[in-house]
Amino acid sequence: MYVMNTITIPITKAREDIFNISDKVAAGSLYTLTEHGRPKVVMISVLEFESWLETMEVALDFPNLKKDIAETKRDIKSGKIKDYTTLKEIESLHKLS
């Protein structure tokens, strides 16, 4: 599991140093901003946010992904699904690439 550098500070302190914080967030730090001592918002980089969105899209597109992968592995092991030669392997064999 990937663990980000997490920093927790009050929103009022973040307001005073927002440009420095945004640089740190862009570099990979994660900030939790608090209000009255309670977490209110999290700041993550655009790259991390887009990665999370993509992960959620995949999860929605393939709701049974874990089950599907396990089933496919069983089918490959039992011989129900064969491992076929790839196009790259054929090209390499015939020196076409």
The SS3 assignment for 33 reads: strand
Neighbours of 49 (CB within 10 A): 11
Distances (CA, A) of 4 to 43, 44, 64, 95: 12, 10, 28, 46
Q: Report the topology of domain 1-61.
A: YefM-like fold (3.40.1620)
Calculate the CA dihedral of residues 43, 49, 51, 53 and round it to 10 degrees. 130
Confidence (pLDDT) at 36? 97
Global confidence as pTM:
0.60
- Amino acid 34 reads T
Low-confidence ranges of the chain (pLDDT < 70): 1-4, 83-84, 97
Backbone torsions φ then ψ of 33, nearest 5 degrees: -100, 135
| DSSP state, residue 81 | S
List the domain boundaries for the chain: 1-61, 64-97
Q: What's residue 65's pLDDT?
A: 84
pLDDT at position 1 is 44
